[in-house]
Amino acid sequence: MTEGSAGAARVGVRRVGRPSLVDRERIAVAASEIGLSDLTMRSVAERLGVSVTTLYYHVRDLDDLKKLVAQRSAERHEVPVAAEQHWAEWLAEWAEHSRAAFAAEPGLLEHFLNGTLALGNIKSNLEAIVAFLERQGFSPADALAAHALVSSCAIGTAVSEIRSANLDNGDEAQQARLRELGRSRRLRPLTKEQGRPGGLPTFRQQLCTILIGVAARRGEPLEPILELMERPFGT
């Protein structure tokens, strides 16, 4: 029997005697602190001061461990609840929630890209969004398309924000390369030296463009969306 299969066989076994020094929550916290790139059963065990065998009483294998961490990360961010607001407002709230969650916790984005986020949670959220949009006259296909557009915008913006933060914290050589980039007339607007890139749309502007496109395709007036973009989401 391999180490992994042995671990799987141990999960759920009730032991007697001294209580365990760890549980799935403590394991998830330790694994989150380590990060996916360096995550192994041994690294988590060493961080908790227990044996690898002890971990196998709580998690089946490394994949189970990654899913546990992803689940914990996702639960830290409260999903907005749909009321009967305008469909564009709901999509804007969802996009802002996604952008903020991924930007604040890059590990969550890594879990999403690696497919370690629980599919059940993703499916549940998506079903709720599609059901809400259907009540506002969307077909299932159009609802999925609208959700995909705002989600792509949110993820792309989060990636840009994470990258900018990493560049800001880069070493001197990296900062020198950024200064060299700023000397290019065409690329100067893209550098952090000029503050916010003046020629690039903000997340809200990008989102507004998407929502206007959806409304135009549906033959709806654009004023509610333009008004929405002038105030904070969710108000």
- pLDDT tens-digit profile of 118-170? 555 667 778 888 899 999 999 999 999 999 999 999 999 988 888 877 776 65
Please give the mean pLDDT across all residues of the chain: 76
E-strand ranges in the chain read none
Report residue 18's pLDDT band, with 50, 70 and 90 as the boundaries. very low
User: Are residues 103 and 179 located together in one domain of the fold?
Assistant: yes
Which of 24, 53, 74 is the last residue in one of the domains?
74
User: Are residues 92 and 203 located together in one domain of the fold?
Assistant: yes
pLDDT in tens, 71-88: 777 676 666 776 778 899
User: Are residues 44 and 108 located together in one domain of the fold?
Assistant: no
Residue 122's domain is classified under what CATH number? 1.10.357
User: Are residues 88 and 191 located together in one domain of the fold?
Assistant: yes
Classify residue 234: in a domain, yes or no: no
Which of 28, 55, 74 is the last residue in one of the domains?
74
Classify residue 161: in a domain, yes or no: yes
CA 23/CA 29 separation, integer angstroms: 10
Total number of domains constituting the chain = 2
Q: State yes or no: pLDDT of 91 exceeds 50.
A: yes
User: Are residues 94 and 201 located together in one domain of the fold?
Assistant: yes
Classify residue 18: in a domain, yes or no: yes
CA 223/CA 227 separation, integer angstroms: 6
Classify residue 233: in a domain, yes or no: no
Report residue 21's pLDDT band, with 50, 70 and 90 as the boundaries. confident
Residue 9's domain is classified under what CATH number? 1.10.10.60
Contacts of 53 (CB under 8 A, 6+ apart): 7, 10
User: Are residues 61 and 33 located together in one domain of the fold?
Assistant: yes
CA 62/CA 234 separation, integer angstroms: 39
User: Are residues 95 and 54 located together in one domain of the fold?
Assistant: no
Classify residue 235: in a domain, yes or no: no
**Claim: this prediction has a pTM higher than 0.85:** no
User: Are residues 15 and 113 located together in one domain of the fold?
Assistant: no
Report the pLDDT value the prediction gives residue 138, as an integer from 0 to 100. Answer: 96
User: Are residues 28 and 41 located together in one domain of the fold?
Assistant: yes
Q: State yes or no: pLDDT of 190 exceeds 80.
A: no
